[in-house]
Amino acid sequence: MSNVLVTGGAGYIGSHACKALRNAGFTPVTYDNLCTGWEDAVKFGPFEKGELHDRAALDAVFETYKPVAVMHFAALSQVGDSMKQPGQYWHNNVGGSLVLFEAAIAAGCLNIVFSSTCATYGEHDNVLLDETIEQRPINAYASSKRAIEDMLQDYENAHGLRNVIFRYFNVAGADPDAEVGEFHQPETHLVPLMLDAIAGKRDALTIYGTDYDTPDGTCIRDYVHVCDLVDAHVLGLRWLLEGKESRVFNLGSGTGFSVREVVDQSRAVNNRAVPISEGERRPGDCTKLVSGSTRAEKELGWTPTRSKMDTMIADAWKWHQTGHYDR
């Protein structure tokens, strides 16, 4: 079986991608420093602990495993934190990617599947976002991802480093088999925070900002199931291995939910009240981010099957009840 190097493979999305790769006949090789990932999430292939900035370690991994491609998930990703400490995001996300791409080129591994974000688009009022929309990032996290996208284009022009870039909308849900799931420390994502509040593991779910220009005053986001998301990554990998051109794809469901609407959906799924508190807006948060793209469906043949809000919450709740959050 062909090896695929998965940076950040011990994290939420990366661990699900490793399972999808294994099921598709590849061997995922996780490369992770466990800063935000968890070693017990590495279940589907070899594990190499290391830093993106450690060129010698990366060279050794490329030499040992000779991967046919890299899936690059490793990154700091908290919007609020990026506004307070932008240097960490430029150093870790951009600087680390630079070292990784140099190592890949030196090893002759010229296929990159990159985890980007819809946050690179910034604020576009009342616009469904497709891949042609101007990118205007408004926080350091999004700026760092945009910079890596630009870097990939430069490296392709100079060295033939072909790439598929996926701009994610909000990722939710968990593996339906509950082998892996979503766990961050500290937790910052809406669905697991909401489930923690339901389960009594925190006093309440804080809604940050209730005065946005939306029907109920809370932010609107497009949610995509993590399993649908990683299925697209396998399709993107095959796209590159078939020799097709570099491409950018949005990954979203095309449906927007406000924070309050997600809470209402949770009540319908779990039949449990969600304790709520209201807080101020967080710097760097956009009002509305919803995908208007069908490119992944038309060109990759990607068909999301689990990206309905009730399914995402039910899968996340199943994972939540396994006790993994109690570690």
Q: Which residues are catalytic?
A: 141
Query: 295: which strand partners?
Result: none
Q: What is the DSSP letter of 7?
A: E
Q: How far apart are CA 159 and CA 42, in angstroms?
A: 32
- The letter for the amino acid at 68 is V
How many CB atoms sit inside 10 A of residue 107's CB?
A: 18
H or E element, residue 165? strand 162-168
Those residues whose C-beta lies under 8 Å from the C-beta of residue 182, and which sit 6 or more positions away, are 12, 172, 173, 174, 189, 191, 192, 226, 316, 319
CA dihedral for 77, 82, 87, 90, sign (positive or negative): positive
Record the tokens describing residue 308, joined without a space: 């309905």
Record the tokens describing residue 73, joined without a space: 């998930």
Q: Which residue pairs, CB below 8 angstroms and at least 24 apart, start in 197-205?
A: 197/274, 197/275, 197/276, 198/266, 198/270, 198/272, 198/273, 198/274, 199/320, 201/325, 203/275, 203/277, 204/275, 204/276, 204/277, 205/263, 205/274, 205/275, 205/276, 205/277
| Per-state percent for the chain, helix, strand, coil, to nearest 5 | 40, 20, 40
- Tokens 């998965």 belong to 6
* Upstream peptide bond of 283 is cis (omega within 30 degrees of 0): no
Taking each continuous run of H as one helix and of E as one strand, the counts in the chain are 11, 13
Beta-strand relationship, 256-258 and 220-225? antiparallel
